[in-house]
Amino acid sequence: MQTQNPFLDEFAKLTSAAMGLAQTAGDEAKAAFRAQADRFVADFDLVRRDDLDALKAEIASLRAEVAALKEQATKKAAKKD
């Protein structure tokens, strides 16, 4: 839309520039927050979820194996008596 009033044209340009600046500032704030969060996680040496799930599965498997070995030991001890 074109107007004959140069003031309105300049005001529209200024408003567009301000919106662009606000968008850029928001993007930079997001990037800074993400970088800070990454540093926070790295400083606390947190474990990733898939690593935790794999470890839980391994522990469950080892517990089942220990239970089976205990059962075998109990049966062998009962046979000796």
Q: C-alpha distances in angstroms, 75 versus 2, 69, 72?
A: 94, 10, 5
User: Does residue 2 register a pLDDT over 70?
Assistant: no
User: Does residue 80 register a pLDDT over 90?
Assistant: no
**Tens of pLDDT, residues 27-71:** 999 999 999 998 988 888 888 899 999 999 999 999 999 999 999
pTM: 0.48
pLDDT at position 22 is: 94
CA atoms within a 13 Å half-sphere pointing along the CA-CB vector of 27:
6
Q: Which amino acid is at 43?
A: D
